[in-house]
Structure formats: structure tokens, C-alpha cells
Structure 1
Amino acid sequence: MKGLTMNFKILIITLLLPFSVLAKDELKIFTYGSFNSDWGPGPNIEKEFESSCNCDLIWNTADSSGALLSRVKLTNNKEGYDILLGLDDSLVDEAKKNNLFIKHSVQTDGLDIGWKDEYFTPFDYGYFSFIYDSDKLNQPPISFKELAERDEISIIIMDPRYSTPGLGLAKWINQIYKDEASNFWSEIQDQIVITSKSWSDGYGLFLEGESDLVLSYTTSPAYHSLVEGSTQYKSLKFKEGHASQIEVMGILNNASNLDLARSFLEFSLTNGFQQHIPQGNWMYPVLNLKESQKEFYDAAPLPVSLDQVFPSSEEKDSWIASWEKSIIE
């Protein structure tokens, strides 16, 4: 009887052993939907990381960067996500105040942008701009001042209360005009023919011919050129400079796999991750890849940059208030 019991135990151990040997650690990343879409950088980044980590990278998604932060604030990350990937610089201050993230130890010197932050590491960046069809607009404005003087030019923007580019424009105007921001909004109010709730809605209407300009990013022409083979879409180059957007990631303070999370943050600042950003997320990588990604930079040259801004909730509210005041007036 003892021999039978021993054989049974050996059988159970033998059956269970392959599962324990094959079991992999999981890294759970919470990001916005387009990042892990079939056309986004997520699938290729997943393959690159899994080839060296012997782990399973599991994506979870929300509609937008704002929705990412709202979710983890609401639930205190009860889902057990390890990393939140996709906040932008307008949400960094709010994220820190809610004590949702732990400090990292990743070296961020030598990046293509200046960056010093204890909680977040950058993975891409871009610049807000207006896109135009060069077949229709032969003499594009070269400054905000000229834009306001050209009453014949129609514009589509996004609502700064709901849209990242919309808030980006509010930041941009505030950086240049400061206390006179409301006055400038009033000057261009009659030229704004549509204020869409989302970037995709607004950009789609522009492509249908509903305006001369649409708020977007300096990298938008690269997509048209490299994917569609169309070179007529251009980015305005304003001599005042362009406001930036930096996208970041951070480790959540109740992450279930800290070692893997730290490894992924390190990996995100290597070529294995960064090479998939230009023609995957259509933003600039934070590593200098101007040689290997020459066609991208040729199609989306870097503009004159304004200083980085990491606004508080109060500052964002003031930007939006300047825009709202121009509508009421």
C-alpha cells in the first residue's frame, strides 16, 4: 500500500512539473488602445521584450491617457497593473499628487530631450501644430500673429476639456500670449469652424475638406507620406516656436511584479523599444534615431521648441478658462 501511495505521488509530481517549469512571470501594462492596436507599436515591442525576459507581457487598455489615470485613481489599481504607459506631461503633476507611483532608478541622461523625474520615464514626444493641404493653401501663415490676421483661413480645433491636442493648443497659446491668451482666442474665434470632441473626428473632417487647417502634430505629414504616399499635407512652422507633448510611463505602487516592471522601464530606453515609435506611434523617439529613421525625420522635421511645461490642475483650468471666455464673448 505504501508503494502504491508513493507511485501515485510521483505520478502527480511528474504531471505537474511541466506546468511549473513552463510557467512564466507576467508583466501587466495599462495603456491607451491605439498603442497596442494592430497598427501601433505595442505588438512589436511585446515581441522584442518577451524574447529576452522569458515572461508574458499582458496589455490592458483604455480609450485615452486621461482615462488611464482616472481608472487607477478610482480603483487604486485593484487590477494589479505593473506599469501605466501613456500619460502625457499635462497629467504628471496630478499623477504624483495621488501617490499612485513609486520612484524609479532608470538613467535618463543622454536622451534626445531633457528629462529629470523620479517617478516617470519618457518614451516619446511630439509637437503640436496645424496641418494644411499644400495643394489648396499656397501661402501658409508663419506665426500665430499672421494666422489671426488671415481671416480667410478656416480652422478645426479640439475641445481642450476632452482632447489632449485641444489642451495642447491651450497650453501653446498660453505659453506665447500669457495674460493676453483670452484676447488671442477672441481674435481667431471667427476662424474656428469646428471644435471637435476628439482628434480623430476633427482630423477626419479636415481630410473631407471642412477647413484649411486642423490642429494636430508636426509628425502627421510623415504618416501621409510614408504610409499613403501623399506629400501634400504639411505642418505649419511658427516662428514663435511649438509647444511639446511628452508621453511617459511609471511603475504603480502596488505593482505585482516590480523586477519585471523595472526591467521594462530600462528596456523602453533602448533601440529595441524606441525603433518602433516613429512609424508605430507616429511620434519622435526619445533616443536620437535620426540616422536609422531618416525618412521619418525628413517627413517630419523638428520645429523650434518652446520650453517644457508640467502644469498643475489649476494651471490647466486657467488655460481652459481663457478659451471658454473667448466663446462667451
Structure 2
Amino acid sequence: MRHFILFIAVIFLGLFLAVLNRTEQGKVIGGQPTLRVFGYSSFTGRWGPGPLLKEAFEKNCKCKVEFIEGSDSGILLQRLRIEGESLGADLVVGLDQFDLSKAMDEQKWRSLSLGKLDVYETVKPALSNNFFVPYDWGALTFVARRGELNHVPVTLDDLLSSELSKKIALQDPRTSSPGMQFLYWVVRSKGEEEGFKFLEKMMGQVHSFSPTWSTAYGLFTNKQAKIAYSYVTSPLYHEIEEKKKDYFAISFTEPLPVQFEFVGIPEFCRHCDLAEQFVNLMLSNEGQKIIMEKNYMLPVMKGVRENSVFANLPPMKTMDKFEILSTTEVDRLLKRWTEIRRGELN
């Protein structure tokens, strides 16, 4: 009899834990499902587009939206691999083109059925697979303050001037998407061998290699660095949000790299239909306007940038080739960069 009672107790305990686990996994509270969105901090944070997209989505979805944060896209991908399924990630926002191969190697993704998208010509090459869709884009360059530089750099080699020694804020390419963009820019502009010789010289010019874009840009805004690697749209942020017009994006002779940011739905999603609805919101006129004005990136959909302050950005020459590097290629470039960095520190 005692064994029977113990058996029944174990069965009930198992059923209780299964129900508890299902409730936690599905995150259904008060009859409403919770859509869990993995995103980087400047997207999900108070001043980013995340809160406004969440508000707009919750008006009609009969659900709740919960953000799970990673400080930068590189760190976001690591967190997704380690705990994405256990935390119940339904949607991943903020991977760029250098993250996609690794993301597809490490996870399975749902195919997106979004129909024909009316995007800008610049964006069309980024619509190269059925698992990820770009929701914004932007060119990267160095940003400076007016009056602080005796000689504004116009080529990559100008970054080696004595005036900029220890005064350049850069990101670590191993953890930061802009950091990887800079590495890619140098290698594609100079060729790999000459590019890494240049990067070796650059080590002495850099104030520090920050793990995220926000940390590096903070060094610049706090005047610990004279220039920072950032987005062509960054001066617009200072002008609109801070009423400051002393920031400017530097135009280089070398065509600038372009970063595309993507959204995707993991195959292990629990509220997959809601995730696709959220993607549709991000690509709608309302969503694109929110992303443009809060993320300070350019919209992918036509008709949003026009008649806005973003239409008046100074033209800059950008790379015309879109590449999704293989995981092997990204790892190889990062290994070479790490060896140079380790040599500098030793």
C-alpha cells in the first residue's frame, strides 16, 4: 500500500511539474500569451524603438510582449545559443549580416512568408534568404565634433596621425557588430594582408576596444576620445535629441560599409504566429517610422524616409557589394585580429 501511495504521489508530482513547466514555457498569464523578443539593449531600452513597438502591438494582439536583452548583437547571439530555448525566445531582433551564418549554423529558423516587400534598391541584396528579413540599415563611419581636430581624416591611413594617438573609440569585433564592420571595412578596402598590417598599426591609436557600441560611443561623448566609429546617422541623433549641431560624420575616400539589421523567428518559438505578426508590424509604415526615429537607422521600406529629416543626410559613397560571410570566414578574420591584439597587450 505504501508503495502504491508513493507511486501515486510521484505521478501527481510529475503532472504538477509538467503543468508548471508548460505554463512557464508558454508564459500564459491571465489568459494572455507572452511574446518573448530577444533584442540588443539600444533597441529594447527605454529610449529605443522597442517600447513603442510593444505598445502598438499590445493594442491589438491580446497578448503581452516581453523583451530579453543582450547588450550587442554578438552577445545577443551567444545568449540565444545558451538559453534562448529555455527562456522561450519567440523572435530575435538585431542580428547583422555577419551574424547570419553563425545563427543558421547554431539554430534552426522558421521560414518567413512576408510576400513581396517594396524596399529601396540598396536593401534588395539583403533579401537573400527566407529566414531573416532586414528591418533597418545604415552606413558606418567615424563621428567627430567640430573644432576639435586640426586635420579631419579623409582616408583610412589618416587614422594613423599623431593627433589621433589613443584618441579613437572602437569596438571589439569579437563582441560588437560595429567592431566587426570596421574589421571588414579595412580588409575589403586594403586587401587582407595590407589590411592586417594597417590594423596592427591601429592598435596604438585606439583609446580602447569596447565590448559594445554604446560603451565606445560613451567614451567619445564624454570627450575621452576625439572620434568614434559609429553610424552616419549619429549626428542627427545629437541634433534632434540634444539640440547640438557640433557633431558630424566623416566622409572617407574608401566607400563605407553598410550594416543591415535582421529579424528572425527561431524554430523552437512558442508563439510563432504572434512573432510573425510582430515582424509585420516592424515592416509596416508605423513600425518603420518608429524604428527610424528611435533607432536612428534608415528604414528598408519605401515611403518612410521621404519628407523626414533623414532624407537630408549628406550623401556618402558606400560599398556596393552585400556579403554574408561564412562562420568559418568570420572566425578566421577574428582569429587574426585576436592574435594582433594579444601581441599588442603582451
What TM-score, normalized by structure 1, do the two folds share? Answer: 0.84
Question: Match for 1:290 among 300, 305, 315?
Answer: 305
TM-fit CA distance, 1:228: 0.7
Answering whether residue 207 of structure 2 is matched by residue 163 of structure 1, we say: no
Question: Which residue is 1:266 aligned to?
Answer: 280
Match of 1:72 among 52, 64, 80: 80
> SS state of the match for residue 294, structure 2?
coil
TM-superposition CA deviations, 1:86-125 (whole Å, max 9, x none): 2222110011112331111113532121222110111111
Kindly provide the amino acid, as one letter, of the partner of residue 316 in structure 2.
P
The 5 Å alignment of 1:135-146 reads 135-137=147-149, 139-146=151-158
Kept in 1, the 8 Å contact 2:138–2:231? The answer is: yes
Residues 169 and 207, structure 2, Cα contact 8 Å, conserved in 1: yes
**How many equivalent pairs are there?**
306
Partner of 1:303: 316
For residue 195 of structure 1, give the secondary structure of its aligned residue in structure 2: strand
Counterpart of 2:228 in structure 1 is: 214
Listed one character per residue, the Cα deviations across residues 209-260 of structure 1 (whole Å, up to 9, x for unaligned) are: 3333211111111111111111111111112211121111111112122222
**1:156 positional shift:** 2.2
The one-letter code sitting in structure 1 at the alignment partner of 2:137 is Y
Cα shift at 1:84: 1.3
TM-score normalized with structure 2 length? 0.80
Distance 1:221 1:316 in 2: 30
The aligned residue for residue 229 of structure 1 is: 243
**Where does 1:113-152 land on structure 2 (aligned, <5 Å)?**
113-114=123-124, 115-137=127-149, 139-148=151-160, 150-152=161-163
- 1:134 is displaced (CA, Å) by 1.4
Deviation at 1:73, TM superposition (A): 1.9
- Pair 325,177 (structure 1): closer, same or farther in 2 beyond 3 Å: farther
Distance 2:315 2:250 in 1: 12
Deviations 1:39-74 (CA, angstroms, capped at 9, x unpaired)? 111111122222333332232223332333223322
Cα distance, 1:58–1:212 mapped onto 2, change above 3 Å: closer
**Do structure 1's residue 40 and structure 2's residue 52 form an aligned pair?**
no
Partner of 2:103: 95
Gaps of 5+ in 1: 1-19
Kept in 2, the 8 Å contact 1:174–1:181? The answer is yes
Alpha-carbon distance in structure 1 between the residues aligned to 2:334 and 2:241: 35
Equivalent residue in structure 2 for 1:178, among 166, 176, 191: 191
Relative to 1, partners in 2 of residues 1:134 and 1:176: Cα closer, same or farther, differing over 3 Å?
A: same
Match for 1:52: what amino acid?
Answer: N
The match for 1:204 is 218
